[in-house]
Every structure is written in C-alpha cells, then in structure tokens.
Copies of this chain bind each other. A is one copy, B any other.
C-alpha cells in the first residue's frame, strides 16, 4: 500500500470502530445521539491514526491499539464540545456543522462531553482485556495524564485565562504544549506502549509527536488568519475575535512558515532510529500541508 492507501485504510478502521462504539447501548434520553453527533462529524482523525501507526512502527498489531486510538479521539472530541460552549469560545460552527450545543442545547452538550471523556476510558479498558495488563495500565496512565489538569484541561484553562492579555512566546508554547500537544503525544506514545515498545522507542515517538503537534498548531494559527472559512469548515479570524495571542501575532506569517518547516523536519528526524518510519514521516509533512 502507498501512503494515501494506508492513510485511508487507517481512517476507515477508525471510523468503523467509532461508529460501533455505542452500538447496543440502551439509549438514555438523547445522550448517545449527542455524543455520536460530534464523534462522527468527520475530521482528520490524526490522533487515532498516530496510535495505530506508532503501534505498527514498534512491531505491534494496530488492531490491539484501536481501542486506545479511539479513546484519544473521544477525548479530543469531548474537548471540542466543551470548548465550543457559550461560556468558553462560544462557537456556532465546527467542521462545517452547527456545534453540539446549537443542536442539543447546552445541558446535553456538557453531558455529551462528560460522556465521551468517560467513554474513552471505558473503551480503552475494554481493549485492555486482550493486552498484557502492565502495558494496558501504562497506556491508560499516559492517556489520563495527558488529558487532565496537568495536560489538556490545564491548557484550556490557560487559554481562557490568557484572552485579552499579552502573552509571551514561552507562554503560548506552554499553552499549546498542554492544550493540544499533550494529547497528540499521548496518542502516539500509547501505540508504542501497546506494542510493548521500550523506553527509547517511547521517547523517540513522543519527540516526533511533540514536534508534529507544535507544527500543526502553528499551521492552525496561520490558517486562522489566511484560510477560507468554507474550506476549513469553521469561522476564521476567531483568534482575533477573542483577542488571543497566537504564534502569528508573536512571530508573523513568514517566520511561522519557517518554524513549521523546521519542526516538521525535526519530527521526521526523531524517527531516524526506526527502519519503517516512512508513513509517519509522510504524515507529518501532509498534516502541515506539504507533500514530503
């Protein structure tokens, strides 16, 4: 399979697993509808694909990593639902569709987020039954730590606190490391853990994902200024609206483009110790809008 075929195969695998995640569950009011509405709204599925492919990279069976891959996507999705709430970023559009609370109301959107966050652990625990319990616990630990107040939730708190204030580059880097970087790195590391990868492999995969995550975020800030709303499926200019300090406001568009290039090369370099890293290297270049 070439890169595009492999990417499609991974994405199909993830979509199918997510579609089946709540099948057979007794519905309680419309909570599963609301959870599925956001979970099955498309998106690039970067996090789960990272989990599958780092598992393969480290010699594991990607199918064993699939529940952990979907768990990372569920946590990503819940964070989008809560971030879009009126009391947070107050966004009405996400991936070209009305946001969760616009369709289901705020109360259900809060609960759908809570349900997805918890479902991530439920699913990863189900997947743990087929694994060495030690690896399963290590992967769960990685996911929990990256998602909580020392990771993604802390990053969102910093983001809210920073609105309307002038932030420095280290502030913005720290904010993004927590808000988006931590979960991306965990998604990648979990695949490696499930495959039984050693400490050196885990560190290499983390470094790759951290560089990739930062490049991806800078690219996102750039697109918020230069991109087209219809193409992105969300409003552009949202950072300016919220008076947010971004990589673009701090470094300018040109320097950001250089940074993205540098970080992507460093991500690729982090995997130099692996024989079969072609897919993940191409993925890094594709995610920042270049073919390698």
Among A61-69, A105-113, A188-196, the stretch that binds chain B is A105-113
Indicate if A140 sits at the interface (CB-CB under 8 A): yes
Given A22-B149, A149-B115, does the pair A154, B108 have CB atoms closer than 8 Å?
A: no
Question: Please, which residues of chain B bring their CB within 8 A of the CB of A111?
Answer: 82, 153, 156-157, 160
Complex Cα spacing A11 to B275, Å: 55
Q: Is the beta-carbon distance between A128 and B137 smaller than 8 angstroms?
A: yes
Q: Is the beta-carbon distance between A29 and B137 smaller than 8 angstroms?
A: no
Among A50-58, A116-124, A216-224, A245-253, the stretch that binds chain B is A116-124
Indicate if A141 sits at the interface (CB-CB under 8 A): yes
Indicate if A150 sits at the interface (CB-CB under 8 A): yes
Question: Please, which residues of chain B bring their CB within 8 A of the CB of A31?
Answer: 149, 153-154, 157
Q: Mark A79-106, 1 if CB is under 8 A from B, else 0.
A: 0001001011000000000000000011
Q: Is the beta-carbon distance between B148 and A125 smaller than 8 angstroms?
A: no
Question: Please, which residues of chain B bring their CB within 8 A of the CB of A78?
Answer: 114
Q: Is the beta-carbon distance between A160 and B108 smaller than 8 angstroms?
A: yes
Nearest CB on B from A167, distance (A) = 12
Complex Cα spacing A115 to B82, Å: 12
Identify the closest chain B residue to A113 (Cβ): B114
Given A30-B161, A153-B111, does the pair A118, B136 have CB atoms closer than 8 Å?
A: no
Indicate if A32 sits at the interface (CB-CB under 8 A): yes
Q: A108-B160, A111-B160, A121-B121 are in contact. List 4 more A-B contacts (CB 8 A).
A: A28-B154, A31-B153, A82-B110, A125-B137
Nearest CB on B from A269, distance (A) = 29
Indicate if A133 sits at the interface (CB-CB under 8 A): yes
Question: Please, which residues of chain B bring their CB within 8 A of the CB of A85?
Answer: 107, 110
Indicate if A258 sits at the interface (CB-CB under 8 A): no
Question: Please, which residues of chain B bring their CB within 8 A of the CB of A49?
Answer: none
Question: Please, which residues of chain B bring their CB within 8 A of the CB of A25?
Answer: 149-150
Complex Cα spacing A154 to B110, Å: 12
Complex Cα spacing A178 to B121, Å: 18
A-B complex: 7 closest residue pairs judged by Cβ atoms: A133-B133, A28-B154, A118-B148, A87-B106, A29-B161, A115-B149, A31-B157
